[in-house]
Structure 1
Amino acid sequence: MKMDRMLSIIMLLLDKKRVSAQELADKFEVSSRTIYRDIDTINMAGIPIHSTSGVGGGFEIMENYKVDQKVFSSADLSAIMLGLSSLSGMMQGNELTNALAKVKSFIPADQAKDIEVKSNQLSIDLSPWIGNKNIQPYLEIIKAAMQDNKLLSFEYSDTHGNKTTRTAEPYQLVLKNSHWYWQGYCLIRKDFRLFKVVRMTNLRMQEESFTARDYQKPQLDFDDILETIQITIKLRIHNAVMDQVLDYCAYENFTPDGADHYIVDFPFIENEYCYNILFSFGKHCECLEPSHIRAEMKRRVQNIAALYEN
């Protein structure tokens, strides 16, 4: 995994005077081009690495920036351990486990207790209670394909259930709102696409490699768009579903209505996703206004009831 590899590169450069690109490529079983990209990323992160060409050349951290293990504060190490621990619970494999072990090697004995306490103050568990059994093995396949620049083939179902066969170049895994996606260049659509992992079947990593192309990260912040399409509706809910509703709006949106109910100003977009959210609250939620949303809820309820009449 890229994060693990770059952390290991930094540690090697801290321990050694100079390391060649080929030596790093052989150690991490990647191409020299990948190593050069990692070095560029580390430089942009603020750790200046100097390269020397020719016989005996390689990479080294600039002498006036040379640091030792004390460069990491207890807060720094706690944050790194927390991030690696939360990911290792969701994405299996030796890379994250090894990275976590390496970070622990930075911990001075006199700070070990303090760092352990700090790293245990917050627990992040990204694994679902229940879910699609294919997600975790698919994540491993996607991760391996990104590591080796291998094409992925799969069948993909859109929101209308239409299934197509795709081949794509994988570039980035994305965890958004508890759902996994990956950004790739689709050879069928001739453009970048954001694929949702649960909509994929028959995922396979191909033997064929690809040359990485320049790409932009997918847009994941839709605040500006939401301002133009999002409306506020009024719900009356029972306190039995209060925790569920709080996943979508703040407590400031709640007004008590008797002993057991609340009136809630609820953010809403008129699409299937948001209607399904309202139905997830079941009989404990009533849409009061606007009238056309209330009427649409009634129509959908009647359609559901009609399924069971016979």
Structure 2
Amino acid sequence: MKLERLISIVYMLLNNEVVSASELAEKYEVSPRTIYRDIDAICAAGIPVVSYQGANGGYGIIESYKMDRSLLGSFDVASLITVLHSMSSIFDDERAMETVRRLQTIQKNDQLPHLSMDMGSHRVTYNESLRKLRDAITAKQVVRFDYINGKNERVARSVEPVSLRYQHDAWYLFSYCRTRGDYREFKISRMTDLLLQPERYERRHEASPQRSAFEQYRWNDHKEVVLQFSSEALARAMDLFYESDRSFNPDGSLTVTLKLDNAASEQWLLGVMMSFGDEAEIVAPIELRQALRRKLEKMLQRYREA
């Protein structure tokens, strides 16, 4: 309880110019003598508390110890706090929370949050993998895992992790793959049996590329696809195809035009369209319509056999 009170007193002093001993005693429901001892303990810990005399006297922390308010605007502070809160919830990072507390010392007390962010703090197993990988990156520790590649093959990989990247609503690991002898990017959600090895690596790695493999081929030759969704499927279609060209039709349906870049993307789209049932249709190209028909016929045959 005393430690919690000491920490709270420090941040109260950081957020105020001067706080009287009687005010602190009333807030924490202790005697002024206890507050004097707390201030001595805080000073002994290396935090420069100054005593001010007079009718409006009390305790404060010297300005040079506080973060300069002029360095960041209120919008910058609020945005940084929001992002750090989200990251700390995923990585269980006390260092990030410490930075949040320091930033809160220069945030106006009456400032309401204008931005909220949750990057998946509820995904316990997923976040545990992220924490393991970040620890491995920090310690330069070799990592082993099984991975489902784009061909739906389960393969074992041994890598030297370099960095984590969040993009396209997913986390990726950029690493040097010992199995392939080259740099590779792995999607975290496709990893299983993730294990940190006792071995440390000494290799000096190049920085993560500015563009991932996904981004490098997304602007190459594409196949244009036209989809149509009924008015009963608008919400989900809007969520899934947010970055595609979309237009509403007089009957309330939605037409979506997008470009596919490889066979894996085609298979993904066929699965998505099947999940819509009779509320969606592939309008073009004809070969993709035929591919979906073959899948549906194969599925129907399987259920007939049952």
- Please give the TM-score of this superposition, normalised by the length of structure 1: 0.67
The answer to whether the 8 Å contact 2:228/2:256 transfers is yes
CA 1:220–1:272 in structure 2 vs 1: closer, same or farther (change >3 Å)? Answer: same
1:128, 1:284 → 2: CA distance? 32
- Residue 278 (structure 2) aligns with: 283
Corresponding residue number in structure 1 for 2:86: 86
For residue 174 of structure 1, give the secondary structure of its aligned residue in structure 2.
strand
**SS at 1:141 equivalent:** helix
Aligned to 1:238: 230
1:167 to 155, 158, 164: 158
SS in 1 for 2:195: strand
Answer whether contact 1:233 1:289 (CA < 8 A) is retained.
Answer: yes
Structure 1 residue 212: deviation in Å? 4.6
Counterpart for residue 33 of structure 1: none
**Alpha-carbon distance between aligned partners in 2 of 1:112 and 1:174, rounded to the nearest angstrom:** 33
SS of 2:208's equivalent in the other structure is: coil
Using the TM superposition, give the Cα deviation of residue 265 of structure 1 relative to its aligned residue in structure 2, in angstroms: 2.8
Query: Could you tell me how far apart the structure 1 residues matched to 2:288 and 2:148 are?
Result: 28
- The letter of the residue matching 1:77 is V
CA distance in 2, matches of 1:251, 1:199: 25
Larger CA Rg, structure 1 vs 2: 2
Shift of 1:194: 0.7
Determine if contact 1:237/1:262 at 8 Å carries over to the other structure: yes
> 1:219-246: per-residue Cα shift (whole Å, max 9, x none)?
2385673343323322221122212222
Question: Are 1:145 and 2:130 an aligned pair?
Answer: no
Superposition CA RMSD, Å: 2.5
Is 1:122 the counterpart of 2:115? The answer is yes
Structure 2 alignment gaps of length 5 or more: 1-66
Quick one: which of 239, 242, 255 aligns to 1:263? 255
C-alpha contact (below 8 Å) 1:249/1:267 kept by paired residues: no
Q: CA deviation at 1:182?
A: 0.5
2:100 counterpart residue number: 100
Structure 2 length as normaliser, TM-score? 0.68
Contact 1:248 1:267 in 2 (8 A): no
Residue in 2 aligned with 1:23? Answer: none
Aligned match for 1:184, one of 175, 187, 195: 175
> Which amino acid letter does the alignment assign opposite residue 195 of structure 2?
R
- CA distances 1:185-205 after superposition (whole Å, capped 9, x unpaired): 111211111112122222121
2:212 to 211, 220, 226: 220
Identity within the alignment, %: 19
Which secondary structure state, in structure 2, belongs to the residue aligned with residue 308 of structure 1? helix
CA distance in 2, matches of 1:236, 1:284: 8
Residues 10-89 of structure 1 mapped to structure 2, 5 A cutoff:
68-89=68-89
Answer whether contact 1:244 1:281 (CA < 8 A) is retained. Answer: no
**How much does 1:142 deviate?**
0.5
Corresponding letter in the other structure for 1:68: D
The number of equivalent residue pairs is 234
Aligned to 2:110: 113
Choose from 241, 248, 271 the match for 1:248.
Answer: 241
